[in-house]
Amino acid sequence: MARLIHRLTTETRVHHGSFDLLDEGGPRSLPQPANAPGGGLLRAADNTITALSATPGVHYAAVDLEVWDGEPPPADGAWHPAGNATLRLSSGEVEVNPLVEGDDTEMLIIGPPGTYALRASVITRSAPNGVERWLFQFWPARS
């Protein structure tokens, strides 16, 4: 059974309908639609993850980043799948980036440089601010 290693809970500003998770340790690729039922709200490529908000307008979203030592159990029934992806992280450090200059960002060390699996889930209208909450679960990808 997989173990939770680290967790970061933060908030980020959603501007232009999205926010990013970035690894600044290497070149970033153009995010492509991730694997998800219904098209998904996640775009991912090496060193870049973009979360597309289902909520219009500028607002804040609650964000949880989790690091697991293996594939975690799926999030409970309240969460809706946003997408799954496999991507390379050049430094292994991921920053929550609101796409707006001057806003503070938070960073989480996912692990050493390498390839990681990612599952993203979202709950709308139930975050502390009443808008949305995101869950990003990372674990080492199998070769």
CATH number at residue 12: 2.60.34.30
Q: Under a CB-based contact definition with an 8 Å cutoff, are residues 124 and 79 in contact?
A: no
DSSP state for residue 31 in the 8-state scheme: P
How many domains are there within the chain? Answer: 1
Residue 135: CB atoms within 10 Å: 20
Residue 122: CB atoms within 10 Å: 26
Task: Provide the whole-model pTM.
Answer: 0.89
Nearest to 16 by CA among 56, 45, 63, 50: 56
Domain that holds residue 78: 4-140
Residue with tokens 């597309």: 52
For the cut 60, the answer to whether the pLDDT of residue 142 exceeds it is yes
The string of pLDDT tens digits covering residues 23-74 is 988 878 777 766 655 457 899 989 999 999 877 778 888 999 999 999 999 8
